Chains A and B, each alone.
Chain A
């Protein structure tokens, strides 16, 4: 299912420097501004804990993706 709030959150973090800095120092305060479900908040924080803000083609990201290699996908 599509999540409007999740799209808005990511757009704000990547499009607004002030929000980006706020998210890096206090992610909860930014999350509170969006109507996210508890699972969405968990997913955001889990991604942040593993990868930070994914803004570069990092080897860390590739390693994480490799771990979720596919069977179903073609």
Chain B
């Protein structure tokens, strides 16, 4: 068991080092502009591309590499694609901060929207350049184009999900169906993308590519619901009046006094809440946290079933199971 853990740690550290090297190679074109280089690097640290990952963290930034290795037994040729995905994520983070305007540590809060927009745009351009580096790793031109198109397609869906989310009126009653649709488009599509790209670069046939994409989608849904539950436990989503799964469940399923209090808090209150503890307690008491936890487990269960199915197609799923434990 100890030997196995040590082996896993060594494997992960090696992949992380190689990914960091690849990202730094892509960023090298910015070294003439020290300030932009530092800001681009800073936001990558926040999405883990250049951050130190501890033993207990799930290696999300390695997901595409792990899928690729699960299928083909190798991953080095996929490093530029993994770097590109980190750059896309970093860009999305910076744009999110501009749109939300609620993070005092963000680049937009410290330098303004013009600088932040330029940093996010730089990430996008560098991401496209990172994809082009696949050719240097011996990936065929047609596959480079397919990877570029796949990533751009998934991120188009993610942008559409973000637009749908931004378009909803805060006082509007959001249904669970709408919430799940937005989550699937906006959040889980990025993990689906990572798995799809990894499978394509692993040489999987279309059936296996689809399986891994579905695995990523379910992993992403579980991950977002976990984030929603944390947002209730820590109170930040309550304070922001954010319509997440536990809140949507409680607003639609609670009766009587509990329903009135929740409606007052989330649909009628004009300003963000300072004292979130009573609402958090109500969300526990109505079963909203329990329901959300079951939904998270359900998506994890689906992801696990897909992995077993992929194992039947001779993919090596051991490391992917780490994401579900």
In the assembled complex, how far is the CB of residue A16 from the closest CB belonging to chain B, in whole angstroms? 11
The residue that B285 contacts in the complex, of A55, A61, A65, A69, with Cβ under 8 A, is A55
In the assembled complex, how far is the CB of residue B292 from the closest CB belonging to chain A, in whole angstroms? 9
Q: Check if A2 sits within 8 Å of B253, measured CB to CB.
A: no
In the assembled complex, A1 has its CB within 8 A of some CB on chain B = yes
In the assembled complex, how far is the CB of residue B163 from the closest CB belonging to chain A, in whole angstroms? 15
In the assembled complex, how far is the CB of residue B218 from the closest CB belonging to chain A, in whole angstroms? 11
In the assembled complex, A51 has its CB within 8 A of some CB on chain B = yes
State the majority secondary structure of interface residues on B.
helix
In the assembled complex, B215 has its CB within 8 A of some CB on chain A = no
Max chain B Cβ within 10 angstroms of own Cβ: one of A6, A15, A71: A71
Q: Check if A14 sits within 8 Å of B223, measured CB to CB.
A: no
Q: Check if B57 sits within 8 Å of A55, measured CB to CB.
A: no
| Contact sample, A vs B, 25 pairs, CB 8 Å cutoff | A2-B176, A6-B295, A7-B253, A7-B291, A15-B255, A39-B298, A39-B301, A39-B305, A42-B301, A43-B294, A47-B294, A54-B293, A55-B284, A55-B287, A57-B281, A57-B284, A67-B56, A68-B222, A69-B57, A69-B226, A72-B187, A72-B188, A72-B191, A73-B223, A74-B96
A interface residues, Cβ below 8 angstroms from B: 1-3, 6-7, 10-11, 13-15, 39-40, 42-44, 46-47, 51, 53-57, 61-62, 64-74
